[in-house]
Amino acid sequence: MTCIPTPDYSHLKCYDSVYEPSEDSFLFLDALEQEQDFLKQINPLICVEVGSGSGIILTFLASILGGKSHYIGIDINEKASQCTQQSLCHHSIQNYDCICDNMLDSLSSRMRGTVDVLLFNPPYVPTPSDEVGGTGLSASWAGGMHGREVIDLLLPQVDSFLSDGGVFYLLTVEENRPGEICQLMAAKGLIASKVLTRRARNELLTVLKFIKKKLSKDDLK
Ligand SMILES: C[S@@+](CC[C@H](N)C(=O)[O-])C[C@H]1O[C@@H](n2cnc3c(N)ncnc32)[C@H](O)[C@@H]1O
């Protein structure tokens, strides 16, 4: 396995208002590194990260896939969106858009069925529901009941935005009930698996992978 360097994020001076890369971010990088052969093989044209924060994950993906893909970073926190842009620019990534918005709301319906790689390291911490919905630093962690309230906003949209053969990676903690998420996505025809699991302090973190099956001629009959 080729070792992919962790993107330099020391130039960013935004961590009073933007999520600073932590164990969850680094587990996500390790999962993508492990997945690099698969990711190259599907030859992605469009890669989207929801909740791009500092930009470390999208920059890392771009360093695996190179210039043939287009990278879209979306974050509800305006300062995070600016940081993502700075990170991509700092690492000389050229084909990108950074958007400040909620989830996939700003992707037009024409983009349905076109996203080859979708990434989300969400706000996963269980919190009271009234802490969910901010646009500042609290949006990095506040996940509401079971830490699932923000995750559950994205899940129903994944299938329609992924291309055939496209892949979605999602980081979860145990409290998010990853097994239940896999069942939900499998019911939509996505093939679910675990890429990596690691305990970091009191959190059992797992990166899940969901593949949208390519339809065969038999499926279309
Ligand atoms: C745990 S942080 C991950 C940041 C970065 N991807 C990383 O791994 O270091 C979650 C990110 O999701 C963003 N976020 C939360 N709710 C969102 C929403 N509804 N739409 C888009 N981004 C959201 C937060 O602002 C935050 O940057």
For residue range 98-141, what is the model confidence (pLDDT) as tens digits? 999 999 999 988 899 999 999 999 999 999 999 999 999 999 99
User: Is 195's pLDDT higher than 70?
Assistant: yes
Report the nearest-CA residue for atom 24 of ligand 1.
140
Report, in this order, helix, strand and coil percent for the chain, each rounded to 5: 40, 25, 35
Across the beta sheet with 190-200, the strand order is 96-100, 70-75, 46-50, 115-120, 162-173, 203-212, 190-200
Distance CA 121, CA 52 (A): 8
Q: How would residue 220 be classed by pLDDT, with cut points 50, 70 and 90? A: low
Q: Decide which of 149 and 110 is more confident.
A: 149
Burial 45-66 (b: 16+ CB within 10 A, else e): ebbbbbbbbbbbbbbbbbbbbe
Average pLDDT rounded to a whole number, residues 174-202 = 97
What is the percentage of the chain residues whose pLDDT exceeds 70?
Answer: 98
Return the structure tokens found at 22. 């932590």
**The pair of three-digit structure tokens given for residue 88, joined into one six-digit string:** 């991509």
Instruction: Say how many Å lie between the CA of residue 216 and the centre of ligand 1.
Output: 35
Homologous superfamily (CATH) of 23-220 is Vaccinia Virus protein VP39 (3.40.50.150)
From CA 38, how far away is CA 47, in angstroms rounded? 14
- What is the CB < 6 Å shell around ligand 1? 19, 21, 25, 28, 50-54, 56-57, 74-77, 80, 102-103, 121-123, 139-140, 150
1: confidence class by pLDDT, cuts 50, 70, 90: confident
Q: Which of 202, 185, 201 is nearest to 193 (CA)?
A: 185
Q: Mean pLDDT over residues 5-16, rounded?
A: 90
Would you state the pLDDT for residue 27? 98
